[in-house]
Structure 1
Amino acid sequence: MKTSPPSTKIEIEDSFRPWLGDAVMRFQYLYPHVELDCNEGMVTLHGEAANDPAVKRDFLFVLYRQKIYAETLPLRQILIEGVTGLANRTA
C-alpha cells in the first residue's frame, strides 16, 4: 500500500490573496521540494517537509513580505527618484 506524502492546508485571508501568486513563486524558489496547490483561498503544501511548522511559518512570512513589498514600492520609487534626481514620472 502506497502512502501519500504529508500535506498541510493554510487558509489565506482575503486581504492577502492579491499577492498569493507572487508569494508562491518566491516560496517555490526557497522550497523546491514542496509542492503547492492553490484554490479559493486555500493553499495546500505537499511533500516530506509539508508538516514542518517552520515550512508553514516561512510560507506565511513570504506572503506577508510580498504584501509589504508591493504596498511600499511606490514610496521607494519616489524616494529613489528624489535622491538620484531621476524623475521618470509625468505627474
Structure 2
Amino acid sequence: MSLSPVLDISIDPEFHPCIPAALLRLGYLFPELDFAVSERGVTVRGASGSNPARLQREVSYQVYREKIFRQTLPMRQSLYTMLAG
C-alpha cells in the first residue's frame, strides 16, 4: 500500500544535517505518518486529515531543536567535565 504525499516541506540546506535525528522524534510524535528526507527537506506521507500548518510547524521546530542540540553539545560536555572533574 502506497501512502499519498501529504506535505513536502522545504528546509534550508544549512539544516539538512539535522533532519535525520529530527525525523526520529517526529516518528514518535506522529506514528500514523511517514517522514522521509527529500531533496528539498522533508516529505510527509500518511493520514490525509492531518493539519498541514501544524505539521510544517512541528517539522521546522524539531529540525531547529536538533540544530541547537548539536551547537550546544560541546559546551554542555565541557560543563559536565568541569563539574565531574
Give the TM-score normalised by structure 1.
0.78
In 1, Cα distance between the equivalents of 2:36 and 2:50? 12
**Which residue does the alignment assign to 2:77?**
77
- The total of aligned residue pairs comes to 82
Assess, with a 3 A threshold, how the Cα gap between structure 1 residues 39 and 6 changes in structure 2: closer, same or farther.
Answer: closer
Q: Which residue of 1 aligns with 2:16?
A: 17
Secondary structure of 1:7 counterpart: strand
Question: Following superposition, which runs of at least 4 residues in structure 1 exceed 3 angstroms of deviation?
Answer: 49-52
Q: Once the two structures are aligned, what percentage of the paired residues are identical? A: 33
Q: Which structure would you say has the larger RCO, counting Cα contacts within 8 Å and 6 or more residues apart?
A: 2
SS of residue in 2 equivalent to 1:32: coil
1:36 corresponds to: 35
User: Any conservation in 1 of the 2:9–2:41 contact (CA below 8 Å)?
Assistant: yes
Counterpart contact for 2:6–2:46, Cα < 8 Å: yes
How far does residue 6 in structure 1 lie from its aligned partner after superposition?
5.9
Counterpart AA for 1:16? F
TM-score, reference length from structure 2: 0.83
Residues 8 and 51 in structure 1, CA contact (< 8 A), matched pair in contact too: no
Q: Secondary structure at the match of 1:26?
A: helix
What root-mean-square deviation, in Å, do the aligned CA atoms of Structure 1 and Structure 2 show?
1.8
- Equivalent AA in structure 2 for residue 10 of structure 1: I
**Max radius of gyration: which structure?**
1
